[in-house]
Amino acid sequence: MRKLKLQVQMTVDGFIAGPNGEMDWMTFNWDEELKSYVTALTEPVDCIVLGRKLAQGFIPHWAAVAANPDDPDFTAGQKFTNTPKVVFTSTLAQSEWDNAVLAQGSLTEEITRLKAQAGGDIMAYGGASFVSSLIRQGLIDELHLFVNPAAIGQGLPIFGELAGTQALTLVKARPFACGIVVLHYEPKRR
The domain that holds 159 is classified in CATH as 3.40.430.10
**Residue 174 CA: distances (Å) to CA of 76, 144, 188:** 21, 11, 20
pLDDT band at 190 (very low <50, low <70, confident <90, very high): low
Kindly state whether residue 81 falls inside one of the protein's structural domains. yes
Q: How many domains are contained in the chain? A: 1
* Residue 162, pLDDT score: 85
* DSSP secondary structure, 10-64, as one string: EETTSEEE-TTS--TT------HHHHHHHHHHHTTEEEEEEEHHHHHHHHHHHHH
Report yes or no: 64 and 102 within 8 Å, Cβ to Cβ: no
Query: 154 pLDDT exceeds 80?
Result: yes
Distance, in Å, from the CA atom of 165 to the CA atom of 151, rounded to the nearest integer, reads: 23
* Residue 161, pLDDT score: 82
Kindly state whether residue 95 falls inside one of the protein's structural domains. yes
Report yes or no: 139 and 107 within 8 Å, Cβ to Cβ: yes
For 96-138, the pLDDT digits (tens) are: 888 899 998 899 999 999 999 999 999 999 899 999 999 999 9
Distance, in Å, from the CA atom of 184 to the CA atom of 112, rounded to the nearest integer, reads: 22
**Residue 68 CA: distances (Å) to CA of 33, 65, 78, 187:** 22, 5, 10, 38
For 22-57, the pLDDT digits (tens) are: 999 999 889 889 999 999 999 999 999 999 888 888
Kindly state whether residue 120 falls inside one of the protein's structural domains. yes
Query: 95 pLDDT exceeds 90?
Result: no
Range of the domain at 77: 10-19+45-171
Report yes or no: 17 and 157 within 8 Å, Cβ to Cβ: no
* Residue 88, pLDDT score: 92
Report yes or no: 160 and 132 within 8 Å, Cβ to Cβ: yes
Kindly state whether residue 32 falls inside one of the protein's structural domains. no
- Percent of the chain whose pLDDT exceeds 90: 73
Kindly state whether residue 102 falls inside one of the protein's structural domains. yes
Kindly state whether residue 186 falls inside one of the protein's structural domains. no
Report yes or no: 17 and 130 within 8 Å, Cβ to Cβ: no
User: Which of 4-18, 83-97, 150-164 shows the highest mean pLDDT?
Assistant: 4-18
For the chain, give the mean pLDDT: 93
Q: Which amino acid is at 127?
A: G
The values of phi and psi at residue 20, to 5°, are -110, 25
**pTM of the predicted structure, to 2 decimals:** 0.92
Kindly state whether residue 26 falls inside one of the protein's structural domains. no
Kindly state whether residue 33 falls inside one of the protein's structural domains. no
